[in-house]
Amino acid sequence: MRWGKVRMNLRSLFHFKSYNLRAKLILLYLFAIMLPLLLIAQVLLKVSENQIIRQTTELTKESSRQSANNVQDLLKQYADLATHYSFDRQLQEYLNPAMDYSDYIDSIEAYQYYLKPITYNFTLDAATAKLSIYFLNDTLLPGLGIYRKVDDVVELFHPYRRAVEAGREVVWGKEADEIYVSRTIRNASGDLYGVIELKFPEDRLYALIRESDPKEKTIALADVNGSIISSNDRQLIGKKVPDEFASAGGASGKPIVGESPGQFKTIAVPIDGKNMPAWTLITQVPIDSLLTEARYVRNVGLIVLGSTLLVSFLLFTLLLGRITSRVRQLVSTMGKVKQGLFIRAPERDSGDEISQLTRSFNLMVAGLERSIEDNYVTGLSLKDAELKKREAELYALQSQINPHFLFNTLESIRMKLIASDDPREASDMVLNLSKILRKSLNWHGNIVSVREEIELVRCYLDIQKYRFRNKISDELDIPEELAEMSIPKLIIQPIVENAIKHGIENKKGSGSIALRIRRQGDRVRIAVEDDGVGIDEQRLSSIRASLTMKDAIRVEGRSIGLRNVHERIVLQYGKDYGLSIESAVNLGTTVVLEIPADAERASGKEEPHV
């Protein structure tokens, strides 16, 4: 039971046709304007956020590359110095194991004339860097705190052992708080003469990467085994690089995003170049840090958008209230006129379609009121009683058709205002109705041309097409030679109206209406054909019988308009002319009007404008 009620409530919520005009236009504003703007704003803010992250990442990349270049420049100084000593021919000559320094004087002279001068030119600050040269010559004495003979202890030193194992390659490493670089000293034949070692404190590297706060950006220098050599976060030194960044060493500048709860971007830049260590400078930036500016832009954008949409919606509802109040007022006045109270709708000094419709409606009401008064007051003063009766009957029948057509058309417009998704269609319907009312008010007398009557039919069909969309199609076949022929006013439009209302509207699917006018001898045949639901035999017989009834006004249903048209044709042209009807259930209906072919043609004078 509860689920059934929920379904009924949802169904009533989405039953768009049941909403009034104000609710429909508000929903139209929400779905056609506000919702697309929100979606567009969301997309733009997302694109902006991604762009800010991308730009910030690029800046971080560039900063990482610059830090890597600074580290590389520092390491290159030591690598070049080690290489310089390694290839120094005189140093190789003095350290040659074959040299005999059995006499201490020879060792002193070696230090005096070369070994001391060469180390004297050591350009790095002794307080931050240390030079050591290990030699294999058994006769040379150690000295200067730099030269040391290779013994069992030296052979266990990592810088010495790794340099010997590496051949002629430069070896890098870290011991305690110092960074070392070592390289063997060999002759051209590859014979080992010794090893040169340079050490400098890790603080030299730290000085190049400590400018960033570790909470905002963590920078770490890791060796080939993933051990952190130096970092602006001092607690990371000696630890391993996290597993999710283990592959960062080969990704030159490529960011790697972690999937852990504290998401971050990581940029790894390798230290490359000749004689450089296979180390990697890793920069880790929290995503929240990158999003700070993006979130600020997003929040400001949402506040501006929300304020703009709120002001826009308030203005829209204010203007909408003024428009719909005028429509409701006009519909209320129409209902009173329909009940027989000939009152005018309040007019406003505006040029929109509602004002035009109001003015046309008031003119129509005034015309109806004046015509009724003129008919009875003037008709009673006529001396010819028979002529008075004939004119009164003719006017009564015609005045019955005019309000009947008007109210049906206004009802169509009202339904369109309720059901339409596009208010412009309702505007076009109002414009067509204005044309019909203008034509009705400007026509003088009861006779018009076929062309004028067809123009009225076209306006009416356009209104009904807007109402039923693709349900109705039409075909108007009127020879040009009959276009200026005179006919009684409003004898075709009521037939077309009946065909739509009783034939096409009740049919499932689409339907068509055809209007054909032909001259057959001394008669003109006007046929209105529809492929609607048709009329059953019993009802058709009742309608045919009603055409000859005296009290036509009290006839109910479809036959009212048919009877009025038939009676007017008979009064105008005699009993030899009039209306006939043929119909079959589910096949359609054909209504034929016959009038004399030699009827007086319309004057063709230009209609006055209102």
* Cβ 567 vs Cβ 575: under 8 Å: no
Q: How far apart are CA 103 and CA 93, in angstroms?
A: 17
Q: How many Å from the N-terminal Cα to the C-terminal Cα in the chain?
A: 61
- Token reading at 487: 């006919």
- Token reading at 581: 């009807």
Q: What is the pLDDT of residue 596?
A: 93
- Say which CATH superfamily domain 342-596 falls into: Histidine kinase-like ATPase, C-terminal domain (3.30.565.10)
Q: How far apart are CA 210 and CA 346, in angstroms?
A: 81
Q: What is the pLDDT of residue 517?
A: 94
Q: How far apart are CA 347 and CA 356, in angstroms?
A: 9
Residue 10 predicted with pLDDT over 70: no
Residue 148 predicted with pLDDT over 60: yes
Query: What are the pLDDT digits (tens) for 466-524?
Result: 777 778 889 999 999 998 998 988 889 889 988 888 888 888 888 999 999 999 989 99
Q: Decide which of 365 and 500 is more confident.
A: 500
Q: What is the mean pLDDT of the chain?
A: 75
Most confident region among 92-96, 203-207, 244-248 by mean pLDDT: 203-207
3-state SS record for 209-278: HCCCCCCCCEEEEECCCCEEEEECCHHHCCCECCHHHHHHHHCCCCEEECCCCCCEEEEEEECCCCCCCC
Q: What is the pLDDT of residue 319?
A: 75
Q: What is the pLDDT of residue 417?
A: 67
Q: What is the mean pLDDT of residues 336-343?
A: 73
Q: How far apart are CA 360 and CA 474, in angstroms?
A: 28
Query: What are the pLDDT digits (tens) for 26-62?
Result: 777 777 777 787 788 777 777 777 777 777 777 777 8
Lowest mean pLDDT among 171-175, 227-231, 397-401, 525-529: 397-401
Q: What is the pLDDT of residue 385?
A: 42
Residue 281 predicted with pLDDT over 60: yes
Report the interhelical angle of 385-419 vs 450-468 (nearest 10°).
Answer: 30
Residue 421 predicted with pLDDT over 70: no
Lowest mean pLDDT among 87-101, 435-449, 536-550: 435-449
Residue 395 — pLDDT band, cuts 50, 70, 90?
A: very low
Q: What is the pLDDT of residue 252?
A: 42
Question: Residue ranges per domain, the chain?
Answer: 37-291, 342-596
Pairing mode, strands 280-286 and 264-270? antiparallel
Q: What is the mean pLDDT of residues 222-242?
A: 81
Q: How far apart are CA 193 and CA 390, in angstroms?
A: 143
Residue 403 predicted with pLDDT over 70: no
Residue 396 predicted with pLDDT over 50: no
Q: Give the whole-number percent of the chain exceeding pLDDT 70.
A: 73
Q: How far apart are CA 445 and CA 442, in angstroms?
A: 10
Residue 389 predicted with pLDDT over 50: no
